[in-house]
């Protein structure tokens, strides 16, 4: 298995632009998670899906952030408009049903908003 695949690996954009991050979870996993990691705040859960349905988005910082999961093999995290304080590493993770907290993380997207 290729693991959780994220793209792009790096993204540099200017303030005000729309940013879309992509994630392909491990096949057969029912849960998908989006995280953000910064030096100041560590790793924060933004939102998670179960069977493509958003379950908890309480970690999404603002209305500028949105996430979708149109099917079991693809999810996006969109920031519109982006701001410099959104600069961080964004991770996607997935796990199977009944997998406890055994999550499989992608390699992340390093986002820099200038």
Partner 1 sequence: DAKTTQPPSMDCAEGRAANLPCNHSTISGNEYVYWYRQIHSQGPQYIIHGLKNNETNEMASLIITEDRKSSTLILPHATLRDTAVYYCIVRGSGSGNTGKLIFGQGTTLQVKP
Residues near partner 1 (CB under 8 A) are 4, 31, 33, 42-43, 45, 48, 50, 56, 91, 93, 100-108
CB 2 within 8 A of CB 94: no
d(CA 98, CA 103): 11
Query: Looking at beta carbons only, is 16 or 28 nearer to partner 1?
Result: 28
Q: How far is the CB of 42 from partner 1 (least distance, A)?
A: 6
Q: What's the number of CA atoms in the CB half-sphere (13 Å) around residue 56? A: 11
Contacts of 62 (CB under 8 A, 6+ apart): none
Q: How far is the CB of 25 from partner 1 (least distance, A)?
A: 13
Q: How far is the CB of 4 from partner 1 (least distance, A)?
A: 8
């Amino acid at each position: 298995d290729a693991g959780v695949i994220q793209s792009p690996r790096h993204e540099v954009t200017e303030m005000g632009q729309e940013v879309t991050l992509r994630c392909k979870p491990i096949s057969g996993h029912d849960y998908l998670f989006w995280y953000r990691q910064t030096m100041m705040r560590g790793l924060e859960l933004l939102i998670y899906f179960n069977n493509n349905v958003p379950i908890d988005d309480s970690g999404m910082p603002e209305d500028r952030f949105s996430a979708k999961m149109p099917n079991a093999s693809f999810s996006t995290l969109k920031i519109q408009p982006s701001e410099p304080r959104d600069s961080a590493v964004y991770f996607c993770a997935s796990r199977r049903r009944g997998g406890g907290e055994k999550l499989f993380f992608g390699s992340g997207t390093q986002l820099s908003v200038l």
